[in-house]
Amino acid sequence: MEEQSKRGLRISDLNDYIVQDIISILPIKEAVRTSVLSKKWEHLWKSISKLDLDEEAHENREQFKDFIENILLVFNTSGIRKFSLSFQVGEDVAQVNKWLSRVVNPNIEEVTLDLGKPEQQLFFHEHIFISRTLTKLKLSMHHVIEFPSSIQFRSLKILSMEHVIFPDTSSTQFFFSSSCPSLEELTLANCNWINVIEVIISCPLLQKLVIEEWEDNDEDDENNDPGGCKIVINGTNITSFSYGGNLINDYSLSHSTSSVTDVCIMVYREGDNWETGYFVLKLLTALANTVEKLKISDYAFEGVYLPKDCENYIFPLPCCFGTYLKTIKIYYFYGTEAELNAIKFLLQEASVLETLYVYIDEEHDYDSPTGEDMLEEIYDQIMQYPRASKDCELELE
Amino acid sequence: MAEKASESSNSISLNTVDGKIFKVSPTIANQMQTIQSLIKAYDSSRVISLPHVNAFHLSKIIEYLEGKSATTVSAVKEFEAQFMKDLSLKQLKGLLIAVGYLKVNELLELMPKTVAKLIENKSVEFLRKFFGIVNDFTPSEEAKIREEIAWAFDGVDED
Protein backbone atom coordinates (compact mmCIF):
# COMPACT_ATOMS: atom_id res chain seq x y z
CA MET A 1 0.00 0.00 0.00
CA GLU A 2 3.02 2.21 0.04
CA GLU A 3 3.09 1.86 -3.72
CA GLN A 4 1.48 4.44 -5.87
CA SER A 5 -1.62 2.79 -7.39
CA LYS A 6 -1.83 2.04 -11.07
CA ARG A 7 -4.20 4.92 -11.51
CA GLY A 8 -1.87 7.17 -9.58
CA LEU A 9 0.59 9.70 -10.86
CA ARG A 10 4.16 8.86 -11.70
CA ILE A 11 7.30 10.70 -10.70
CA SER A 12 7.66 11.77 -14.32
CA ASP A 13 4.37 13.64 -13.94
CA LEU A 14 5.96 15.98 -11.41
CA ASN A 15 5.49 19.58 -12.27
CA ASP A 16 8.58 21.13 -13.87
CA TYR A 17 8.85 23.79 -11.22
CA ILE A 18 9.24 21.14 -8.50
CA VAL A 19 11.93 19.38 -10.49
CA GLN A 20 13.65 22.72 -11.06
CA ASP A 21 13.52 23.45 -7.33
CA ILE A 22 15.40 20.21 -6.81
CA ILE A 23 17.93 20.97 -9.56
CA SER A 24 18.55 24.45 -8.18
CA ILE A 25 19.68 23.01 -4.85
CA LEU A 26 22.33 20.85 -6.53
CA PRO A 27 25.80 22.33 -7.00
CA ILE A 28 25.68 24.22 -10.30
CA LYS A 29 28.04 21.84 -12.12
CA GLU A 30 25.76 18.94 -11.29
CA ALA A 31 22.73 20.94 -12.33
CA VAL A 32 24.31 21.48 -15.76
CA ARG A 33 25.05 17.77 -16.05
CA THR A 34 21.34 16.92 -15.81
CA SER A 35 21.27 18.03 -19.48
CA VAL A 36 22.25 14.54 -20.58
CA LEU A 37 19.25 12.81 -18.98
CA SER A 38 16.72 13.41 -21.76
CA LYS A 39 15.54 15.94 -24.34
CA LYS A 40 13.27 17.57 -21.79
CA TRP A 41 15.93 17.67 -19.09
CA GLU A 42 18.42 19.15 -21.51
CA HIS A 43 16.73 22.49 -20.95
CA LEU A 44 15.24 22.28 -17.44
CA TRP A 45 18.36 23.49 -15.61
CA LYS A 46 18.61 26.56 -17.82
CA SER A 47 15.56 28.11 -16.19
CA ILE A 48 16.20 27.44 -12.52
CA SER A 49 15.58 30.45 -10.32
CA LYS A 50 18.70 30.18 -8.19
CA LEU A 51 22.22 30.59 -9.52
CA ASP A 52 25.10 30.06 -7.16
CA LEU A 53 28.62 30.60 -8.54
CA ASP A 54 31.61 29.97 -6.32
CA GLU A 55 35.22 30.11 -7.45
CA GLU A 56 36.23 27.71 -4.67
CA ALA A 57 34.25 24.89 -6.26
CA HIS A 58 36.45 25.01 -9.35
CA GLU A 59 39.97 23.87 -10.02
CA ASN A 60 41.33 27.23 -11.01
CA ARG A 61 40.42 30.78 -11.84
CA GLU A 62 40.49 30.47 -15.63
CA GLN A 63 38.32 27.38 -15.52
CA PHE A 64 35.81 29.19 -13.30
CA LYS A 65 35.65 32.16 -15.65
CA ASP A 66 35.13 29.87 -18.67
CA PHE A 67 32.46 28.02 -16.73
CA ILE A 68 30.49 31.20 -16.10
CA GLU A 69 30.85 32.36 -19.70
CA ASN A 70 29.51 29.00 -20.85
CA ILE A 71 26.57 29.11 -18.49
CA LEU A 72 25.61 32.64 -19.42
CA LEU A 73 25.53 31.68 -23.10
CA VAL A 74 22.55 29.39 -22.57
CA PHE A 75 21.00 30.34 -19.25
CA ASN A 76 17.62 32.05 -19.05
CA THR A 77 18.83 34.85 -16.78
CA SER A 78 15.50 36.67 -16.69
CA GLY A 79 14.16 33.95 -14.41
CA ILE A 80 16.88 34.26 -11.76
CA ARG A 81 15.51 35.21 -8.34
CA LYS A 82 18.48 34.36 -6.16
CA PHE A 83 21.99 35.04 -7.34
CA SER A 84 25.25 34.48 -5.56
CA LEU A 85 28.79 35.09 -6.80
CA SER A 86 31.95 34.42 -4.84
CA PHE A 87 35.01 35.46 -6.81
CA GLN A 88 38.27 37.28 -6.14
CA VAL A 89 37.64 39.89 -8.80
CA GLY A 90 41.12 41.43 -8.87
CA GLU A 91 41.88 42.68 -12.36
CA ASP A 92 38.82 41.09 -13.99
CA VAL A 93 36.54 44.02 -13.23
CA ALA A 94 35.27 44.42 -16.79
CA GLN A 95 34.31 40.77 -17.02
CA VAL A 96 32.47 40.80 -13.68
CA ASN A 97 30.62 43.95 -14.69
CA LYS A 98 29.47 42.07 -17.78
CA TRP A 99 28.30 39.05 -15.75
CA LEU A 100 26.39 41.22 -13.33
CA SER A 101 24.60 43.10 -16.05
CA ARG A 102 23.57 39.78 -17.63
CA VAL A 103 22.34 38.19 -14.44
CA VAL A 104 20.62 40.94 -12.52
CA ASN A 105 17.05 41.34 -13.72
CA PRO A 106 14.06 43.43 -12.62
CA ASN A 107 12.58 40.58 -10.56
CA ILE A 108 15.65 39.56 -8.60
CA GLU A 109 15.03 38.90 -4.91
CA GLU A 110 18.34 37.95 -3.31
CA VAL A 111 21.88 38.94 -4.27
CA THR A 112 25.06 37.80 -2.52
CA LEU A 113 28.36 39.13 -3.83
CA ASP A 114 31.70 38.24 -2.30
CA LEU A 115 34.17 39.99 -4.54
CA GLY A 116 37.49 40.21 -2.74
CA LYS A 117 39.57 43.18 -3.85
CA PRO A 118 38.48 44.55 -7.21
CA GLU A 119 41.21 46.69 -8.73
CA GLN A 120 38.76 49.11 -10.27
CA GLN A 121 35.25 50.36 -9.77
CA LEU A 122 32.48 47.82 -10.23
CA PHE A 123 29.21 49.06 -11.62
CA PHE A 124 26.21 47.60 -9.96
CA HIS A 125 23.33 47.31 -12.28
CA GLU A 126 20.46 49.68 -11.63
CA HIS A 127 18.23 46.66 -11.05
CA ILE A 128 20.12 46.14 -7.81
CA PHE A 129 19.95 49.73 -6.66
CA ILE A 130 16.47 50.53 -7.87
CA SER A 131 14.51 47.42 -7.11
CA ARG A 132 10.97 46.69 -6.07
CA THR A 133 11.70 43.04 -5.48
CA LEU A 134 15.13 42.78 -3.87
CA THR A 135 14.71 41.63 -0.26
CA LYS A 136 18.22 40.53 0.64
CA LEU A 137 21.58 42.00 -0.37
CA LYS A 138 24.95 40.87 0.90
CA LEU A 139 28.00 42.63 -0.43
CA SER A 140 31.58 41.98 0.52
CA MET A 141 34.36 43.85 -1.30
CA HIS A 142 37.48 45.77 -0.41
CA HIS A 143 36.66 48.76 -2.57
CA VAL A 144 34.84 52.05 -2.64
CA ILE A 145 31.20 51.55 -3.43
CA GLU A 146 29.80 53.98 -5.91
CA PHE A 147 26.22 54.85 -5.10
CA PRO A 148 24.24 55.80 -8.19
CA SER A 149 22.46 59.14 -8.05
CA SER A 150 19.18 57.44 -7.39
CA ILE A 151 18.76 54.49 -5.03
CA GLN A 152 15.54 52.87 -3.96
CA PHE A 153 15.48 49.55 -2.18
CA ARG A 154 11.76 49.40 -1.77
CA SER A 155 11.56 45.85 -0.40
CA LEU A 156 15.02 45.32 1.02
CA LYS A 157 14.75 43.66 4.43
CA ILE A 158 18.25 42.30 5.00
CA LEU A 159 21.41 44.21 4.13
CA SER A 160 24.93 43.12 4.91
CA MET A 161 28.04 45.06 3.91
CA GLU A 162 31.55 43.84 4.54
CA HIS A 163 34.87 45.65 3.87
CA VAL A 164 32.96 48.20 1.83
CA ILE A 165 34.54 51.66 1.66
CA PHE A 166 31.94 54.39 1.76
CA PRO A 167 32.59 57.16 -0.77
CA ASP A 168 31.74 60.45 0.95
CA THR A 169 29.52 62.00 3.59
CA SER A 170 26.59 63.15 1.47
CA SER A 171 25.96 60.05 -0.62
CA THR A 172 26.51 57.77 2.38
CA GLN A 173 24.08 59.85 4.42
CA PHE A 174 21.54 59.66 1.64
CA PHE A 175 21.97 55.91 1.42
CA PHE A 176 21.43 55.28 5.14
CA SER A 177 18.58 57.70 5.64
CA SER A 178 16.36 57.48 2.58
CA SER A 179 17.12 54.40 0.55
CA CYS A 180 15.99 51.49 2.68
CA PRO A 181 12.48 52.09 4.02
CA SER A 182 11.79 48.39 4.67
CA LEU A 183 15.12 47.37 6.17
CA GLU A 184 14.85 45.02 9.17
CA GLU A 185 18.39 43.65 9.55
CA LEU A 186 21.60 45.56 8.97
CA THR A 187 25.12 44.17 9.29
CA LEU A 188 28.15 46.41 8.83
CA ALA A 189 31.26 44.30 9.10
CA ASN A 190 34.66 45.95 8.91
CA CYS A 191 33.40 48.70 6.67
CA ASN A 192 35.60 51.69 6.07
CA TRP A 193 34.20 55.12 6.95
CA ILE A 194 37.38 57.14 6.38
CA ASN A 195 35.75 59.30 3.71
CA VAL A 196 32.73 60.05 5.87
CA ILE A 197 32.63 62.65 8.64
CA GLU A 198 29.25 61.97 10.11
CA VAL A 199 26.26 59.80 9.26
CA ILE A 200 22.86 59.10 10.73
CA ILE A 201 21.59 55.59 10.12
CA SER A 202 17.88 56.00 10.08
CA CYS A 203 15.71 53.05 9.11
CA PRO A 204 12.26 53.11 10.68
CA LEU A 205 11.67 49.35 10.59
CA LEU A 206 15.17 48.23 11.58
CA GLN A 207 15.06 45.44 14.18
CA LYS A 208 18.53 44.01 14.25
CA LEU A 209 21.82 45.85 13.95
CA VAL A 210 25.23 44.17 13.93
CA ILE A 211 28.42 46.23 13.79
CA GLU A 212 31.90 44.80 13.62
CA GLU A 213 35.12 46.72 13.16
CA TRP A 214 38.34 44.98 14.02
CA GLU A 215 41.64 46.49 13.01
CA ASP A 216 43.25 44.45 10.33
CA ASN A 217 46.97 44.37 11.02
CA ASP A 218 47.73 43.13 7.52
CA GLU A 219 46.20 46.20 5.99
CA ASP A 220 47.70 49.60 5.43
CA ASP A 221 44.27 51.02 4.87
CA GLU A 222 44.66 53.64 7.57
CA ASN A 223 41.01 53.11 8.28
CA ASN A 224 41.69 53.65 11.94
CA ASP A 225 42.29 57.36 12.03
CA PRO A 226 41.83 58.50 15.61
CA GLY A 227 38.79 60.70 15.16
CA GLY A 228 36.81 58.17 13.18
CA CYS A 229 33.40 58.76 11.76
CA LYS A 230 30.53 59.82 13.97
CA ILE A 231 27.72 57.36 13.41
CA VAL A 232 24.35 57.94 15.00
CA ILE A 233 21.82 55.14 14.97
CA ASN A 234 18.22 56.05 14.91
CA GLY A 235 15.58 53.35 14.87
CA THR A 236 12.58 53.04 17.08
CA ASN A 237 12.10 49.32 16.40
CA ILE A 238 15.58 48.00 17.06
CA THR A 239 15.36 45.02 19.42
CA SER A 240 18.80 43.54 18.94
CA PHE A 241 22.08 45.45 18.94
CA SER A 242 25.56 44.04 18.68
CA TYR A 243 28.94 45.77 18.54
CA GLY A 244 32.34 44.13 18.32
CA GLY A 245 35.50 46.00 17.58
CA ASN A 246 38.35 48.31 18.47
CA LEU A 247 36.38 51.57 18.70
CA ILE A 248 37.58 52.77 15.31
CA ASN A 249 34.53 54.92 14.83
CA ASP A 250 32.27 56.72 17.25
CA TYR A 251 28.86 55.08 17.49
CA SER A 252 25.93 56.35 19.44
CA LEU A 253 22.30 55.46 19.70
CA SER A 254 19.75 58.22 19.62
CA HIS A 255 17.30 58.38 22.49
CA SER A 256 14.46 57.17 20.36
CA THR A 257 15.94 53.65 20.32
CA SER A 258 13.99 52.50 23.34
CA SER A 259 13.02 49.02 22.21
CA VAL A 260 16.30 47.14 22.48
CA THR A 261 16.11 43.97 24.57
CA ASP A 262 19.15 42.06 23.34
CA VAL A 263 22.61 43.62 23.50
CA CYS A 264 26.05 42.23 22.77
CA ILE A 265 29.17 44.39 23.18
CA MET A 266 32.68 43.11 22.56
CA VAL A 267 35.31 45.81 22.80
CA TYR A 268 39.04 45.74 22.85
CA ARG A 269 41.28 48.74 22.81
CA GLU A 270 44.77 48.44 24.09
CA GLY A 271 45.78 50.53 27.06
CA ASP A 272 42.84 52.85 27.10
CA ASN A 273 40.29 51.66 29.58
CA TRP A 274 38.73 55.01 30.22
CA GLU A 275 37.77 55.55 26.62
CA THR A 276 36.50 51.99 26.29
CA GLY A 277 34.42 52.43 29.39
CA TYR A 278 32.98 55.71 28.25
CA PHE A 279 32.03 54.23 24.89
CA VAL A 280 30.30 51.21 26.38
CA LEU A 281 28.55 53.24 29.01
CA LYS A 282 27.27 55.68 26.41
CA LEU A 283 25.79 52.78 24.45
CA LEU A 284 24.35 51.12 27.53
CA THR A 285 22.80 54.31 28.81
CA ALA A 286 21.04 54.84 25.50
CA LEU A 287 19.78 51.27 25.60
CA ALA A 288 19.12 51.26 29.28
CA ASN A 289 15.40 51.13 29.76
CA THR A 290 14.59 47.84 28.15
CA VAL A 291 17.60 45.56 28.01
CA GLU A 292 16.90 42.01 29.14
CA LYS A 293 19.91 40.16 27.80
CA LEU A 294 23.39 41.62 27.90
CA LYS A 295 26.56 40.02 26.57
CA ILE A 296 29.75 41.88 27.22
CA SER A 297 33.47 41.21 26.88
CA ASP A 298 35.59 41.88 29.92
CA TYR A 299 37.54 44.71 28.40
CA ALA A 300 34.40 46.69 28.04
CA PHE A 301 33.29 45.53 31.44
CA GLU A 302 36.39 46.65 33.33
CA GLY A 303 36.35 49.96 31.64
CA VAL A 304 32.89 50.83 32.72
CA TYR A 305 32.66 49.55 36.21
CA LEU A 306 36.12 49.61 37.60
CA PRO A 307 36.61 52.51 39.93
CA LYS A 308 40.29 51.64 40.23
CA ASP A 309 41.08 52.03 36.58
CA CYS A 310 38.93 55.00 35.94
CA GLU A 311 38.61 58.13 37.96
CA ASN A 312 35.56 59.39 36.21
CA TYR A 313 33.24 56.55 36.99
CA ILE A 314 30.55 58.78 38.42
CA PHE A 315 28.14 58.20 35.55
CA PRO A 316 24.88 56.79 36.81
CA LEU A 317 24.52 53.10 36.23
CA PRO A 318 22.06 52.43 33.39
CA CYS A 319 18.70 51.84 34.96
CA CYS A 320 18.19 48.48 33.21
CA PHE A 321 20.38 47.01 35.95
CA GLY A 322 17.63 47.59 38.46
CA THR A 323 14.64 46.84 36.29
CA TYR A 324 14.98 44.38 33.42
CA LEU A 325 18.44 42.89 33.19
CA LYS A 326 18.15 39.13 33.80
CA THR A 327 21.22 37.66 32.13
CA ILE A 328 24.80 38.89 32.00
CA LYS A 329 27.52 37.04 30.14
CA ILE A 330 31.16 37.92 30.64
CA TYR A 331 33.72 36.64 28.16
CA TYR A 332 37.52 36.33 28.26
CA PHE A 333 37.71 36.27 32.03
CA TYR A 334 41.20 35.95 33.52
CA GLY A 335 40.45 36.09 37.20
CA THR A 336 42.33 39.27 38.04
CA GLU A 337 41.47 41.28 41.11
CA ALA A 338 40.16 44.08 38.93
CA GLU A 339 37.73 41.72 37.23
CA LEU A 340 36.55 40.30 40.52
CA ASN A 341 35.93 43.79 41.81
CA ALA A 342 33.85 44.51 38.78
CA ILE A 343 31.75 41.39 39.28
CA LYS A 344 31.28 42.29 42.94
CA PHE A 345 29.98 45.67 41.88
CA LEU A 346 27.65 44.17 39.28
CA LEU A 347 26.12 41.71 41.72
CA GLN A 348 25.41 44.52 44.17
CA GLU A 349 23.57 46.54 41.60
CA ALA A 350 21.67 44.14 39.35
CA SER A 351 18.59 43.47 41.39
CA VAL A 352 16.58 41.26 39.04
CA LEU A 353 19.53 39.30 37.68
CA GLU A 354 18.77 35.60 37.22
CA THR A 355 22.03 34.21 35.84
CA LEU A 356 25.57 35.52 35.61
CA TYR A 357 27.71 33.59 33.11
CA VAL A 358 31.47 33.94 33.30
CA TYR A 359 33.49 32.40 30.46
CA ILE A 360 37.14 31.80 31.27
CA ASP A 361 39.59 32.87 28.60
CA GLU A 362 40.58 29.84 26.53
CA GLU A 363 44.27 30.62 26.66
CA HIS A 364 44.15 30.51 30.40
CA ASP A 365 45.19 27.13 31.67
CA TYR A 366 42.64 26.12 34.26
CA ASP A 367 42.87 22.45 33.40
CA SER A 368 46.06 21.84 35.29
CA PRO A 369 45.48 20.49 38.81
CA THR A 370 46.29 23.82 40.43
CA GLY A 371 44.17 25.56 37.81
CA GLU A 372 41.11 23.61 38.87
CA ASP A 373 41.61 24.62 42.46
CA MET A 374 41.92 28.18 41.39
CA LEU A 375 38.68 27.98 39.44
CA GLU A 376 36.96 26.66 42.54
CA GLU A 377 38.48 29.41 44.59
CA ILE A 378 37.18 32.04 42.21
CA TYR A 379 33.76 30.46 42.28
CA ASP A 380 33.68 30.46 46.07
CA GLN A 381 34.89 34.01 46.18
CA ILE A 382 32.22 35.26 43.81
CA MET A 383 29.54 33.35 45.68
CA GLN A 384 30.45 35.20 48.85
CA TYR A 385 29.80 38.62 47.37
CA PRO A 386 26.60 40.32 48.51
CA ARG A 387 23.94 40.06 45.83
CA ALA A 388 21.08 42.44 45.15
CA SER A 389 19.24 39.59 43.49
CA LYS A 390 19.11 36.75 46.04
CA ASP A 391 18.24 34.01 43.55
CA CYS A 392 20.92 34.89 41.04
CA GLU A 393 22.85 31.86 39.79
CA LEU A 394 26.49 31.78 38.78
CA GLU A 395 27.76 29.73 35.85
CA LEU A 396 31.53 29.49 35.53
CA GLU A 397 32.70 27.84 32.30
CA MET B 1 -1.33 5.43 10.26
CA ALA B 2 -4.41 6.01 12.36
CA GLU B 3 -7.05 8.15 10.78
CA LYS B 4 -7.11 11.51 12.34
CA ALA B 5 -10.73 12.11 13.18
CA SER B 6 -11.58 15.61 14.16
CA GLU B 7 -14.58 16.14 16.43
CA SER B 8 -15.27 19.48 14.86
CA SER B 9 -18.44 19.46 12.76
CA ASN B 10 -16.82 21.38 9.92
CA SER B 11 -14.09 18.80 9.43
CA ILE B 12 -13.46 17.74 5.86
CA SER B 13 -13.62 14.13 4.64
CA LEU B 14 -11.04 12.94 2.16
CA ASN B 15 -11.27 9.61 0.35
CA THR B 16 -7.99 8.14 -0.85
CA VAL B 17 -7.59 5.95 -3.93
CA ASP B 18 -7.34 2.85 -1.73
CA GLY B 19 -10.66 3.66 -0.08
CA LYS B 20 -9.72 5.12 3.28
CA ILE B 21 -11.65 8.09 4.60
CA PHE B 22 -9.68 10.75 6.46
CA LYS B 23 -11.37 13.50 8.44
CA VAL B 24 -9.21 16.59 8.72
CA SER B 25 -9.68 20.02 10.23
CA PRO B 26 -10.08 23.00 7.87
CA THR B 27 -6.68 24.29 9.09
CA ILE B 28 -4.97 21.15 7.86
CA ALA B 29 -7.02 20.94 4.65
CA ASN B 30 -6.27 24.53 3.74
CA GLN B 31 -2.56 23.81 3.74
CA MET B 32 -3.15 21.60 0.70
CA GLN B 33 -3.90 23.99 -2.11
CA THR B 34 -5.53 21.38 -4.33
CA ILE B 35 -7.98 20.43 -1.59
CA GLN B 36 -8.61 24.06 -0.80
CA SER B 37 -9.84 24.64 -4.34
CA LEU B 38 -11.84 21.37 -4.29
CA ILE B 39 -13.62 22.47 -1.10
CA LYS B 40 -14.72 25.61 -2.84
CA ALA B 41 -16.07 23.60 -5.77
CA TYR B 42 -17.77 20.88 -3.71
CA ASP B 43 -20.80 20.91 -1.48
CA SER B 44 -19.15 20.93 1.94
CA SER B 45 -20.95 17.82 3.21
CA ARG B 46 -19.58 15.63 0.46
CA VAL B 47 -16.55 13.42 0.74
CA ILE B 48 -13.73 14.66 -1.48
CA SER B 49 -12.18 11.90 -3.57
CA LEU B 50 -8.47 11.95 -4.19
CA PRO B 51 -7.88 9.59 -7.12
CA HIS B 52 -4.13 10.18 -7.13
CA VAL B 53 -3.28 9.86 -3.43
CA ASN B 54 -3.09 6.73 -1.30
CA ALA B 55 -3.70 6.43 2.44
CA PHE B 56 -0.04 6.07 3.38
CA HIS B 57 1.00 9.29 1.68
CA LEU B 58 -1.99 11.26 2.91
CA SER B 59 -1.41 10.08 6.47
CA LYS B 60 2.22 11.18 6.17
CA ILE B 61 1.22 14.61 4.91
CA ILE B 62 -1.26 15.02 7.76
CA GLU B 63 1.34 13.79 10.25
CA TYR B 64 3.76 16.40 8.93
CA LEU B 65 1.32 19.30 9.00
CA GLU B 66 0.20 18.45 12.52
CA GLY B 67 3.71 17.84 13.82
CA LYS B 68 4.94 21.07 12.37
CA SER B 69 2.25 23.31 13.74
CA ALA B 70 2.47 21.99 17.27
CA THR B 71 6.02 22.88 18.26
CA THR B 72 8.71 25.56 18.56
CA VAL B 73 11.23 26.54 15.87
CA SER B 74 14.06 24.25 16.96
CA ALA B 75 11.66 21.39 17.66
CA VAL B 76 10.23 21.78 14.14
CA LYS B 77 13.72 21.39 12.66
CA GLU B 78 14.28 18.22 14.64
CA PHE B 79 10.85 16.92 13.73
CA GLU B 80 11.45 17.60 10.03
CA ALA B 81 14.81 15.83 10.05
CA GLN B 82 13.33 12.76 11.75
CA PHE B 83 10.28 12.81 9.48
CA MET B 84 12.45 12.67 6.37
CA LYS B 85 14.87 10.13 7.83
CA ASP B 86 12.06 7.67 8.50
CA LEU B 87 11.12 7.49 4.80
CA SER B 88 12.59 4.95 2.40
CA LEU B 89 13.66 6.08 -1.05
CA LYS B 90 10.50 4.62 -2.54
CA GLN B 91 8.29 6.26 0.08
CA LEU B 92 10.04 9.57 -0.44
CA LYS B 93 9.35 9.45 -4.17
CA GLY B 94 5.71 8.56 -3.62
CA LEU B 95 5.32 11.30 -1.07
CA LEU B 96 6.89 13.85 -3.40
CA ILE B 97 4.34 12.97 -6.07
CA ALA B 98 1.46 13.28 -3.60
CA VAL B 99 2.81 16.54 -2.21
CA GLY B 100 3.21 17.92 -5.73
CA TYR B 101 -0.32 16.91 -6.65
CA LEU B 102 -1.92 18.23 -3.46
CA LYS B 103 0.31 21.35 -3.54
CA VAL B 104 1.36 21.23 0.09
CA ASN B 105 3.51 24.36 0.12
CA GLU B 106 5.24 23.60 3.41
CA LEU B 107 6.48 20.26 2.12
CA LEU B 108 7.24 21.68 -1.32
CA GLU B 109 9.84 23.83 0.39
CA LEU B 110 11.34 21.06 2.44
CA MET B 111 11.26 18.06 0.11
CA PRO B 112 13.42 19.40 -2.75
CA LYS B 113 16.24 19.85 -0.23
CA THR B 114 15.89 16.27 0.97
CA VAL B 115 15.71 14.91 -2.56
CA ALA B 116 18.64 17.03 -3.79
CA LYS B 117 20.81 15.72 -0.98
CA LEU B 118 19.84 12.20 -1.95
CA ILE B 119 20.64 12.49 -5.65
CA GLU B 120 23.84 14.51 -5.30
CA ASN B 121 26.85 12.82 -6.89
CA LYS B 122 24.69 10.04 -8.30
CA SER B 123 25.17 8.56 -11.75
CA VAL B 124 23.14 9.44 -14.82
CA GLU B 125 21.50 6.01 -14.65
CA PHE B 126 20.50 6.53 -11.02
CA LEU B 127 18.93 9.88 -11.88
CA ARG B 128 17.04 8.46 -14.88
CA LYS B 129 15.66 5.69 -12.71
CA PHE B 130 14.81 7.98 -9.82
CA PHE B 131 12.92 10.50 -11.94
CA GLY B 132 11.41 7.88 -14.28
CA ILE B 133 13.15 9.45 -17.26
CA VAL B 134 13.13 7.68 -20.61
CA ASN B 135 16.31 8.49 -22.44
CA ASP B 136 15.01 9.79 -25.76
CA PHE B 137 18.42 10.77 -27.08
CA THR B 138 20.04 8.67 -29.79
CA PRO B 139 23.56 7.66 -28.76
CA SER B 140 25.04 10.25 -31.10
CA GLU B 141 22.74 12.98 -29.75
CA GLU B 142 23.72 12.16 -26.19
CA ALA B 143 27.40 12.18 -27.13
CA LYS B 144 26.93 15.58 -28.70
CA ILE B 145 25.28 17.01 -25.56
CA ARG B 146 28.08 15.61 -23.43
CA GLU B 147 30.58 17.26 -25.69
CA GLU B 148 28.74 20.57 -25.53
CA ILE B 149 28.78 20.60 -21.76
CA ALA B 150 32.21 19.03 -21.34
CA TRP B 151 33.05 22.13 -19.24
CA ALA B 152 30.68 20.85 -16.55
CA PHE B 153 32.27 17.42 -16.41
CA ASP B 154 35.68 18.56 -15.17
CA GLY B 155 36.95 16.26 -12.49
CA VAL B 156 34.11 13.77 -12.87
CA ASP B 157 34.52 10.09 -13.58
CA GLU B 158 31.48 9.41 -15.67
CA ASP B 159 29.79 6.08 -15.38
Asked if the model's pLDDT at residue B109 lies above 90, the reply is yes
What pLDDT, on the 0 to 100 scale, is given for residue A138?
97
Highest mean pLDDT, choosing among A125-139, A247-261, B112-126 = B112-126
Confidence band (pLDDT; 50, 70, 90) for A239? Answer: confident
Mean pLDDT over A105-117 rounds to: 94
Does the pLDDT value for residue A99 go beyond 90?
A: yes
Residue B109: Cβ-neighbour burial (10 angstroms; 0-12, 13-18, 19+): exposed
Find chain B residues with C-beta within 8 A of A30's C-beta: 120-121
Q: Are A364 and A326 in contact (CB under 8 A)?
A: no
Q: How far apart are the first and last CA of chain B?
A: 40
Which chain B residues are Cβ-neighbours of A37 within 8 angstroms?
A: 124, 127-128, 131, 133, 135
User: A113 in a domain, yes or no?
Assistant: no
pLDDT of B80-96, one tens digit each?
999 999 999 899 999 99
- Per DSSP, the three-state class of B26 is helix
The pLDDT value given to residue A383: 83
pLDDT band at A317 (very low <50, low <70, confident <90, very high): low
Asked whether the beta carbons of residue B131 and residue A11 sit closer than 8 angstroms, the reply is: yes
Do the chains contact at A36 and B142, CB–CB below 8 Å? yes
Between A125-134, A214-223, A259-268, A376-385, the lowest mean confidence (pLDDT) is in A214-223
* Nearest Cβ partner for A35 among B56, B149, B154: B149
Superfamily for domain range B12-120: Potassium Channel Kv1.1; Chain A (3.30.710.10)
Record: contact B101-A63, CB cut-off 8 A? no
Domain count, chain A: 2
- Cβ–Cβ gap B115/A9 under 8 Å: no
pTM reported for the whole predicted model = 0.79
> Which pLDDT belongs to residue A47?
95
Q: Return the residue in B151, B153, B156, B157 with the most chain A beta carbons within 10 A, the one to mutate for interface testing.
A: B151
Average pLDDT, stretch A257-284?
A: 70
Of the listed ranges A46-50, A122-126, B98-102, the least confidently predicted one is: A122-126
User: Which of residues A299 and A159 earns the better pLDDT score?
Assistant: A159
Tell me what pLDDT residue B3 has: 45
Amino acid identity of residue B128, one-letter, is R
Put simply, whether A69 touches B (Cβ < 8 Å) is no
What type of residue sits at position A51? L
* Average pLDDT estimate for A244-273: 75
Question: What does the alpha-carbon distance between residue A14 and residue B96 come to, in Å, rounded to a whole number?
Answer: 8
pLDDT in tens, B24-46: 998 999 999 999 888 887 766 67
Report yes or no on A285 lying in a domain.
yes
Q: Give the residue, B7 or A310, on which the prediction is more confident.
A: B7
In chain B, what residues touch A14 (CB-CB under 8 Å)?
A: 96-97, 100, 131
Structural domain span for residue A18? 11-48
- Say whether B151 and A66 touch across the interface (CB within 8 A): yes
Domain ranges of chain B: 12-120, 122-153
Q: Is it the case that residue A304 has pLDDT exceeding 50?
A: no
8 Å CB contact between A175 and A145: no
Across A140-149, A268-277, A330-339, B28-37, least confident range: A268-277
Angle between helices B105-119 and B55-69 (to 10 degrees): 110
Interface test with B, best of A3, A33, A74 (most B CBs within 10 A): A33
Q: Is the pLDDT at A135 greater than 60, yes or no?
A: yes
pLDDT at B9: 64
Would you say residue A249 lies in a domain? no
Q: Would you place residue A172 in the very low, low, confident or very high pLDDT band (cuts 50, 70, 90)?
A: very high
Q: What ipTM was assigned to the predicted interfaces of this complex?
A: 0.89
Report pLDDT for A312: 35
A62: nearest CA partner in chain B: B151
Look at A304-308, A341-345, B103-107, B130-134 and tell me which has the smallest mean pLDDT.
A304-308
Of residues A84 and B121, more confidently modeled: A84
3-state secondary structure chain A: CCCCCCCCCCHHHCCHHHHHHHHHHCCHHHHHHHHHCCCCHHHHHHHCCEEEEEHHHCCCHHHHHHHHHHHHHHCCHHHCCEEEEECCCCCCHHHHHHHHHHHCCCCCCEEEEECCCCCCCCCCCHHHHEECCCCEEEEECCCECCCCCCCEECCCCEEEEECCECCCHHHHHHHHHHCCCCCCEEEEECCECCCCCEEEEECCCCCEEEEEECCCCCCCCCCCCCCCCEEEEECCCCCEEEEEECCCCEEEECCCCCCCCEEEEEECCCCCHHHHHHHHHHHHHHHCCCCCEEEEEHHHHHHHHCCCCCCCCCCCCCCHHHHCCCEEEEEEECCCHHHHHHHHHHHHHCCCCCEEEEEECCCCCCCCHHHHHHHHHHHHHHHHCCCCCCCCEEEEC
Residue A67 included in any domain: no
The answer, for A3 touching chain B at a CB cutoff of 8 Å, is: yes
Q: Is the residue at A264 inside a domain?
A: yes
Size of interface A-B (CB pairs under 8 A): 119
Asked if A29's CB is within 8 angstroms of B96's CB, the reply is no
CB contacts of A51 in chain B (<8 Å) are none
User: A351 versus A70: which is more confidently predicted?
Assistant: A70
